[in-house]
Amino acid sequence: MKFTSTRNSGIHVESAYTIAKGISDEGGLFVPETIPGFGEGELAELSKLDYIGRAKAVFAKYLTDYTDEEISDALRSAYGNGKFENDIPDQLVKLTGGPYMLELWHGSTCAFKDVALQILPHLLTKAVQKTGGVKETVILVATSGDTGKAALEGFRDVDGTRIIVFYPSDGVSAMQKLQMSTQTGNNVAVCAVKGNFDDTQTAVKKIFTDSGVKALLAEQGKAFSSANSINFGRLLPQIVYYVSAYCTMLADGEIAPGEKINYTVPTGNFGNILAAYYAKHMGVPVNKLICASNSNNVLTDFLRTGRYNKNRNFYTTASPSMDILISSNLERLLYLLTDCNDKAVSGFMEELQESGEYRVPDSVLASLRDEFDAGWCDDDDAGKSIKSAFAEYSYLLDTHTAVAMRVYEEYAGRTGDATKTIIASTANPYKFPRAVLGAIGLPVPDDDFEAAEKLFEVSRQPIPEQLRRLKEAKVRFADVIDREDMRSFVLSTVLSTGGEA
């Protein structure tokens, strides 16, 4: 398997190179040159295996430059070591008379990002060795809330790595902020940035490709990589759970072999739903991929009309991890849908940068409409779905998954499609206790931890220990800086020569 760039099809590199580097030099994203498929009967075989067995089969098709042993080691360290409840990263819960919930938040930071970010450090350290190595890999992260904490936990005290996380100062929930500002570890730094997530992400991408900064790092044997979903090493572990969920449905007799299902995904940067797209094109029988957005509904419009236009209001919502107007991973989908046309993709991305919008040709729009459905809802409507899911199923939704539930129900009503549907459940409701409590109609205390206790009283769903502990945790990182100062923050953190902090 070789990988190329969405903006330069002349590039042919191995998976380790893409994982070590994160993003291609000209700013494109790495993609496999072809999407590998499952053989006849392979899904049925995989349905007899556990999560690690299924993951091994998927990984082996993409990471052909890793040995079987390297892949197994990485998978066991990430998923077989008590890092996820019962060592099951993808718990599938059936709501009687409703959709299936693919709970991806049973890991250390209570969001689906753990599934990829627990394994990425293992893949990355091996990738750095394979590619001739630097002394230190510097992971730069822009986070809309959940990636930051999951990446910090994944990379904390991993030899040969240092991690810097930037988050928008007013764009994350209180619990998310506390999760990051109290982060432990000797190779970590966290900093709030004034502005929204798009500003932060754009600034991080610029630092990544800044040749001056890269040269300074290189002098000290250091190089950047990314733990954002622009890194293919993030996407791959996410493909696995879509494959695995289908296999679980097969194994449980919920579907017949070959039967199609829908996936509904609460979407921001388009990474998670793109992984579902890859799973489909590997051979998982999928009817529709339903893309759910909050009030930042740029993707809903795009998937319906073929026109991407980020020139619109930016809303700060109760589902902060989806408050995004520039969905990076869409670039990978565009590459696939234009038959790998790097010139066309570069053109769209230039237009996006210059005027904030672009339009895809009708042929691409036809494929988008064929494979995807899309919808959005605001905080009020997401709140209604939290309330009704709790009343109907005694099931607590977090604010992101609630958007997906609402959009799915709207889709099912509009189309009459009765295909069995899996909703990606992306965060534990206790990450957003005040919003969830308010949605089910109870008085909301000012304090997140009090709200969590109240939520426990009514739901009896246990509060994750790792969130409960935050109440006593010491804040280590309180910096708030301007976007213009991110570059120097990075340099002073990375190039500090004195005694290690």
Ligand X SMILES: *Cc1c(COP(=O)(O)O)cnc(C)c1O
Which residues are near ligand X by CB under 6 A?
111, 113, 146, 229, 266-272, 321-322, 400, 426-427
* Alpha carbon distance 165, 144 (integer Å): 10
Identify the residue whose tokens are 């610029």.
206
- Strands 8-13, 3-5: pairing kind: antiparallel
**Residue placing its CB nearer to ligand X in the complex, 272 or 459:** 272
Q: Tell me how far, at minimum, the Cβ of 82 lies from ligand X, in Å.
A: 22
**Residue placing its CB nearer to ligand X in the complex, 332 or 400:** 400
Q: Are 160 and 125 in contact (CB under 8 A)?
A: yes
Q: Are 158 and 166 in contact (CB under 8 A)?
A: no
List the structure tokens of 198: 């798009």
Q: Tell me how far, at minimum, the Cβ of 273 lies from ligand X, in Å.
A: 6
Q: Tell me how far, at minimum, the Cβ of 133 lies from ligand X, in Å.
A: 30
**Residue placing its CB nearer to ligand X in the complex, 322 or 326:** 322
Cross-strand bridge partners of residue 138? 162, 224
* Alpha carbon distance 1, 36 (integer Å): 9
**Residue placing its CB nearer to ligand X in the complex, 134 or 455:** 455
**Residue placing its CB nearer to ligand X in the complex, 47 or 429:** 429
Judged by DSSP in three states, 165 sits in strand
Q: Tell me how far, at minimum, the Cβ of 492 lies from ligand X, in Å.
A: 29
Q: Tell me how far, at minimum, the Cβ of 154 lies from ligand X, in Å.
A: 14
**Residue placing its CB nearer to ligand X in the complex, 18 or 401:** 401
What beta strand segments (E) does 104-239 contain? Answer: 136-142, 161-168, 188-193, 222-226
* Alpha carbon distance 297, 306 (integer Å): 13
Identify the residue whose tokens are 């991080």.
204
**Residue placing its CB nearer to ligand X in the complex, 31 or 134:** 31
Q: Which strand (E) or helix (H) includes residue 365?
A: helix 362-371
Q: Tell me how far, at minimum, the Cβ of 144 lies from ligand X, in Å.
A: 6
Q: Tell me how far, at minimum, the Cβ of 430 lies from ligand X, in Å.
A: 12
